[in-house]
Amino acid sequence: SDEENWYCECPKLYTGKLCQFATCDENPCGNGATCFPKSRRDVVCLCPYGRSGILCSDAINITQPSFSGTDVFGYTSFLAYSTIPNITFYYEFRLKFQLANHHSALQDNLIFFTGQKGQGLNGEDFLELGLRNGRVVYSYNLGSGTATIISKPLDLTLNIHVIHLGRNLQEGWLKVDDQKNKTVTSPGRLVGLNVFSQFYLGGYREYTPELLPKGPRFKNGFQGCIFDVQVRTSFNQGFKSPGTPEGHPNSGRSVGQCEDSPCSLIKCRNGGKCIETGSTVYCDCLPGWKGAFCTETVSVCEPEHDPPHLCQQGSTCVPLPNGYTCHCPLGTTGTYCEQG
């Protein structure tokens, strides 16, 4: 048979005669960004902490991190700090947050989390805080059952919300804005919180929350700014920011500076729309355009072209000044090489 009379129909995100090229193979993203194929030829760079721009090459200074929830690719924006030491028997947290919009209060959004799935003797210990149906939800599990406190609905006319929460052995308490302090006692007998994961703010590193203990699983990352996070692990010591060195995260993804917009620095051409999620930014091109800034045309013979060309299997599409023609392999004829 004719050697060229076959072709591979590539799955999404792969190209090449043998579907051997994945767009992220020649990863253009800088500085340890997460590369995600946006189409067969274009990628989106999900920027790591402290970086911004189309290829994550711009350094940004973050004093008040802004989180963008879960992006269209299914990743959350997050910061990860080193494990918080000595929170086994006592801790107090203080923090402030600002919502991106009213709708984001109603979603199922994570504010912070530390813990792990049950592994042998370690149980499903975790501590977490989030938003659900316009209320703040605080829960923890010391290994013998989950304790949960749910606040009254947030007053959405407030620009900034303040949370103060703590735990002493099995007793937990939560105070939100000007609401009354609420308390809870965890079930079972265990009194110590044994967590050895990092302390996650705003979202998870994991692609899927299924890797987390049963209790938490806030489905989305936080949308808005979280700042002035402080913790202390005994009643007579001062509050400190998490992290080693203090206040410094180990890693992060798609986290911007509050009130900053990376789209203000980027011009998408030819009707493309600038999309920003935290520090991650990319152009969403109209049909017929491609490239980082939507400046390249999609040729009539390219797989992304809409409508697709009609050259039959094994024939070669060749662009013409207006339209295209099909070069037929041996044994076929017709406009689109559709006849034997």
Q: What local confidence, expressed as pLDDT, does residue 205 receive?
A: 80
For residues 254 and 293, give the distance between their C-alpha atoms in angstroms, rounded to a whole number: 19
**Average confidence (pLDDT) over 304-316:** 85
pLDDT per residue over 258-268, tens digit each?
Answer: 887 778 778 89
Place of tokens 């991106």: 100
pLDDT tens, position by position, 188-230: 999 999 988 899 999 988 766 666 766 657 878 899 999 999 9
Quote the pLDDT of residue 38.
74
DSSP states of 30-46 as a string? -TTPEEEESSSS-EEEE
Residues 6+ apart with CB under 8 A from 333: 339, 340
pLDDT for the residue 89? 95
Distance of alpha carbon 315 from alpha carbon 175, whole angstroms: 69
Predicted confidence band of residue 43 (pLDDT cuts 50, 70, 90):
confident
* Phi, psi of 185, deg, nearest 5: -120, 130
Residue in 233, 223, 282 with CA at minimum distance from that of residue 255 = 223
- As a whole number of Å, the end-to-end CA separation of the chain is 14
**Number of residues assigned to the chain:** 340
| pLDDT range class, residue 20, cuts 50, 70, 90 | low
- Reduced 3-state DSSP string for 81-138: ECCCCCCCCEEEEEEEEEECCCHHHHCCEEEEEEECCCCHHHCCCEEEEEEECCEEEE
Q: How far, in Å, CA of 109 to CA of 130, rounded?
A: 6
Quote the pLDDT of residue 252. 92
* Percent of the chain whose predicted confidence (pLDDT) is above 70: 88
- What pLDDT, in 10s, does the model give residues 225-249? 999 999 999 988 899 999 999 989 9
Residue 165, both tokens: 């929460």
C-alpha 60/C-alpha 276 separation (Å) is 15
pLDDT digit string (tens) for 130-143? 999 999 999 999 98
Q: What is the pLDDT of residues 22-40, one digit of tens each?
A: 677 777 787 788 888 777 6
In this predicted structure, the answer to whether residue 145 has a pLDDT above a threshold of 50 is yes
Predicted pLDDT at 97: 94
Per-residue pLDDT, 21:
57
Q: How confident is the model at residue 54 (pLDDT cuts 50, 70, 90)?
A: confident
User: 41: number of CA atoms within 13 Å, CB side?
Assistant: 15
- In terms of phi and psi (left: phi > 0; alpha: psi -120 to 50; beta: otherwise), the region of 13 is left
Q: What is the pLDDT of residue 74?
A: 78
Domains and CATH numbers, the chain: 14-64+261-290 (2.10.25.10), 78-257 (2.60.120.200)
What is the full DSSP assignment across 152-219?
A: EEP-TT-SSEEEEEEEETTEEEEEETTSPPEEEE-SSS-------S-EEESS-SSS-GGGS-SS----
Q: What is the pLDDT of residues 168-184, one digit of tens each?
A: 999 999 999 999 999 99
**Rounded mean pLDDT of the chain?**
85
User: For residue 298, which of 126, 89, 25, 42 has the smallest C-alpha distance?
Assistant: 42
Identify which has the larger pLDDT, 15 or 298: 298
**91-129 pLDDT, tens digit each:** 999 999 999 888 877 888 999 999 877 665 556 889 999
Judge residue 324's burial from the number of C-beta atoms within 10 Å of its C-beta, 0-12 exposed, 13-18 middle, 19 or more buried: middle
- pTM of this structure: 0.75
| Structure confidence at residue 1 (pLDDT) | 40
Confidence of residue 2 (pLDDT cuts 50, 70, 90): very low
Cis peptide before 245 (omega within 30 of 0): yes
Phi first, then psi, for residue 142 (nearest 5°) are -95, 5
